[in-house]
Amino acid sequence: MKRLAVLLCVLGLPAAADSPDAWEAFRAEVAAACTALVTQDGTVTVEVNPFGSENYGAAVVTVTADWGSDRMICIFDKATRAAELTAPFTPAS
C-alpha cells in the first residue's frame, strides 16, 4: 500500500517545464552557434526551431547576396553545445 501511495504522488506531480527565459536563451545560443559557422559573404538569416528535438536544436540558415541565396540546416547538440552546418540545398529544378 505504501508503494502505491508513493507511486500516485510521483505520477501526480506536474512535469517541470523550462522557463520562457531559458528557451529564449537556448534559441539565442543556437542562432549564435549557427551564424558562426557561415563562411559565405552576404546577409545571414537564422530561423531557429523554437524548441528543437529532445537532443538537438535545429535552424534553417539562409545566406543572401548579389549572386542569389543558399539554404542550409544547422544542427545543435544540446548535450555538447556543438553545432554543424549542412551543405547548401540544391535548387529545385
The per-residue pLDDT for 88 is 95
- Whether residue 25 is contained in a domain is answered as no
- Report whether 59 contacts 46 (CB < 8 A): yes
Residue-wise pLDDT for 30-85, tens only, equals 999 999 999 999 999 999 999 999 999 999 999 999 989 999 999 999 999 999 99
**Can you tell me the distance from the alpha carbon of 22 to that of 13, in angstroms, rounded to the nearest whole number?**
21
* 33 is a domain residue: no
Is the pLDDT assigned to residue 22 strictly greater than 90?
yes
Sequence letter at residue 29: E
Is 74 within 8 Å of 56 (Cβ atoms)?
no
Neighbours of 29 (CB within 10 A): 16
Domain, as residue range, for 67: 41-93
Asked if residue 69 belongs to a domain, the reply is yes
Give the chain's domain count. Answer: 1
Classify residue 34: in a domain, yes or no.
Answer: no
Q: Decide if 83 is inside a domain.
A: yes
Examine residue 19 and state whether it is found in any structural domain, yes or no. no
**What local confidence, expressed as pLDDT, does residue 91 receive?**
75
Q: Is residue 9 part of a domain?
A: no
pLDDT of residue 4: 42
* pTM of the entire predicted model: 0.77
**Residue at 7 is within a domain:** no
